Amino acid sequence: MIQSSELDVSTTGIRFPVKPAFRFGNKQAMSSRSCFVSNKTLTDLAARRLFSSYLPEEVFRRYEQEITGIAARLAQAGVSDAALVVRYENFTTTND
């Protein structure tokens, strides 16, 4: 779980750090990356998952493991944006 002091909550979204874990024998050193998830993405995710919250940070906390997992996979895949951006399309939704 990411500490509250590590979250940068703004009017546009939440910026958070993620450090990808080593997987499948990958010996490459992975440094911490800055990631961003917009309030719109959090709102869309909450609506699709039928989670009724109007506070983006509550939605982030509810789906934190999934959000940080997606961000870690993007970082490990070598996405090279200044800050990784997690979008709604990155999530798997059931019953689509």
Sheet of 84-86: strand order equals 8-9, 13-18, 33-38, 84-86
pLDDT of residue 49: 85
> What is the sign of the dihedral through the CA atoms of 14, 60, 52 and 90?
positive
Domains and CATH numbers, the chain: 4-19+31-90 (3.30.160.140)
3-state secondary structure at position 96: coil
pTM equals: 0.76
Residues 42/88, Cβ–Cβ less than 8 Å: no
Structure confidence at residue 96 (pLDDT)? 43
pLDDT per residue of the chain (96 residues) written in tens, 0 to 9: 777 788 999 999 999 998 776 555 555 556 788 889 999 999 988 888 888 877 899 999 999 999 998 888 888 777 766 677 887 777 765 554
